[in-house]
Amino acid sequence: MHVKQLCWFSTLGALLGTLLASPAAWAEFVQQSHASLLTRNFYLNRDYRQAGAPQSLSAEWAQGFILRAESGYTDGAVGLGVDALGLLGVKLDSSPERSGGTGLLQRDRETRRAEDEYGELGLTAKLKVSNSVLKVGTLTPLLPLVMFNDTRLLPQTFEGAWLNSTELDGLTLDLGQLRQVNQRDSSDNEDLSASRTTPGLKSDRFDFVGGNYKWTPALSTGLHYGILEDVYKQQVATLVHSWPIAPGHALRTDLRWSHESADGSASEVDNRALGAAFTYSYRTHRFGFYYQQMDGDTGFAYLTATNPYLVNLLQVSDFGSAKERSYQLRYDYDFAALGLPGLTFMTRYVQGKNVEVSGRAEEGREWERDTDIAYAIQSGPLKNLSLLWRNASARSDFGSDIDESRLILSYSLPLW
């Protein structure tokens, strides 16, 4: 049995003992609890446009159910609690000739056909002392070093332990270890791996530590360090600043720097990444310019299928290949000013160049254009019902040419 499992059962045993011994503890535990059910109907269509593509089309349709339940904490100096995450995915339409590459549904290991349904139940024991919370079990971290992926039918989850502390005013500290991952289209936990690293490398632990300090309401900086054992180690520094230029006008600056190197002789990782995002807001308009630069012998490495912490992460590409330079222009609009609250629009374009392509003398180039249109009902019996249409076109002279559309209908129902 792993250490993480022993810790989880120990914490759960202590929790149950406290609840049984003190009826008053039950009151706090229950009164502070809440739960919600998110239903997500997801259609994805991906058209491969390059000559000689092994598959011309990927298309699937599925229904997902995401149940989240979070307890309160028992009363006292040490508060105990437990969270639950229930996931279920149901196939609505799929076929072997067009199912590969969508990431929506779990596949049968032998036939590779999409299974009719799949799911899992994740439990998390939690312990709170003052303003520090330790969670052990199923985790969905959102940190510069690891950001769980929730861009398909069901979210990606991890197994491990995570301590978050806000004891000092303005300072947030994070410390933890991840041991296994359950991917978006899977119901099995597996060892960790990373993109853009030596193929086949696996690891059974990712250790991380970091902090973020808010100097003023407008300025914060962060520093994080992580090691995927025997694969890579990474340092990330961040700076975020918001400048209210004038009433209705604001400028947000988001700077990110990362340094990655190999951890172990079997791994090949050498990357330095710089990202700078500048967003100017005027009432319901937002204009963005983002720049991203890769240096070193390899591209940006990150835990497989997570969202890499890059300013030019888009629907199809992350523009993180070796030596790549990329530029993004983005525009967002909120139709509330026109009397249509809940309706939003986003479009962006990124061009990448200077890519170092193995076995080729000339540099690689790529570009991507994304458009999102979303509407969320604001009131009435259908409040919390939302519709999102996402469309992307991506072209590359060293990778795939893709046209992709996603149609997502979501409904969030508070249970208690």
pLDDT in tens, 50-87: 877 777 899 999 999 999 999 999 888 889 999 999 99
- Mean pLDDT value across the chain: 92
Q: What pLDDT was estimated at residue 67?
A: 98
Which stretch of 6-10, 38-42, 173-177, 344-348 has the lowest confidence by average pLDDT?
6-10
Q: What pLDDT was estimated at residue 30?
A: 79
Cα gap 176→173, rounded to integer Å: 10
Contacts of residue 63, defined as CB under 8 A and 6 or more positions apart, other chains included, come to: 39, 40, 41, 42, 89, 90, 92, 153
Q: Which of 396, 404, 399, 300 is nearest to 352 (CA)?
A: 396
Q: Is residue 4 predicted with pLDDT exceeding 50? A: no
- Strand pairing report for 364-376 and 343-355: antiparallel
Q: How confident is the model at residue 403 (pLDDT cuts 50, 70, 90)?
A: very high
Cα gap 305→146, rounded to integer Å: 10
Q: How confident is the model at residue 3 (pLDDT cuts 50, 70, 90)?
A: very low
Q: Is residue 93 predicted with pLDDT exceeding 50? A: yes
Q: Is residue 14 predicted with pLDDT exceeding 70? A: no
Q: What pLDDT was estimated at residue 233?
A: 98
- Reduce the DSSP state of residue 207 to 3 states and report it: strand
Percent with pLDDT over 70 in the chain = 94
Q: Is residue 159 predicted with pLDDT exceeding 90? A: yes
Q: Is residue 21 predicted with pLDDT exceeding 50? A: yes
Q: Is residue 270 predicted with pLDDT exceeding 70? A: yes
Cα gap 19→24, rounded to integer Å: 8
Output the pTM of the full model: 0.93
For residues 148 and 158, is the Cβ–Cβ distance under 8 A? yes
Q: Which of 105, 83, 91 is nearest to 36 (CA)?
A: 83
pLDDT, tens digit (0-9, with 9 covering 90-100), for 126-148: 999 999 999 999 999 999 999 99
Q: What pLDDT was estimated at residue 99?
A: 74
Q: Report the pLDDT averaged over residues 231-259.
A: 97
Amino acid at 45: N
Query: What per-residue string of b and e applies to 42-77 under the rule 16 or more CB within 10 Å gives b?
Result: bbbbbebeeeeeeeeebbbbbbbbbbbbbbbbbbee
Q: Is residue 11 predicted with pLDDT exceeding 70? A: no
pLDDT, tens digit (0-9, with 9 covering 90-100), for 364-386: 999 999 999 999 999 998 999 99
pLDDT, tens digit (0-9, with 9 covering 90-100), for 185-206: 999 999 999 999 999 999 999 9
